[in-house]
Amino acid sequence: MKTVIQRVSKASVTIHKNKVAEIEAGLLILLGIVPEDTQEDIDFLVRKIANLRIFNDENNVMNNSLLNINGEAIVVSQFTLHAATKKGNRPSYIKAAKPEIAIPLYEDFIKTLEKELNKKVQTGTFGADMKVELLNDGPVTIIIDSKNKE
């Protein structure tokens, strides 16, 4: 399971001109899933994301987590995070999990994150053509792969 986490001042997701998710200060989390992913990957990423100290404290030092600031989150499914680009110019997405595997893991990731944050997490819609807008704060962008824990 791979995530791209962006610290945002605000972010939103629009589908067919209908805004389905919108947050203020917090994290936009792009989530890519492979068939080998399990609840263990979800638990690792959720703990890491919720506690990642990437928000400024009163001294303008990145010392606070999403939990510390009571920030919001949007999770967007992003199978293209597992693109293979070694050969040719057209990325291959063969490593990405098929919907029958990915959707339950995506939903479990959201539920686990909501439990960890003790609040509702905004989402896109799995498989939809989404327009994601964000104001990256910093910019701060972090990539975390649950298969690279060390």
11 CB neighbour count, 10 Å cutoff: 27
Count of CA atoms in the C-beta half-sphere (13 A) of 138: 17
One-letter identity of residue 82:
H
Catalytic-labelled residue, pool 14, 80, 85, 125: 80
Is 80 annotated as catalytic? yes
C-alpha separations of 84 from 78, 87, 93, 106, 129 in Å: 14, 8, 6, 21, 21
Kindly state the tokens that stand for 52: 């990642």
Dihedral (Cα; 55, 58, 61, 65), 10-degree rounding:
-30
Residues marked as catalytic: 80
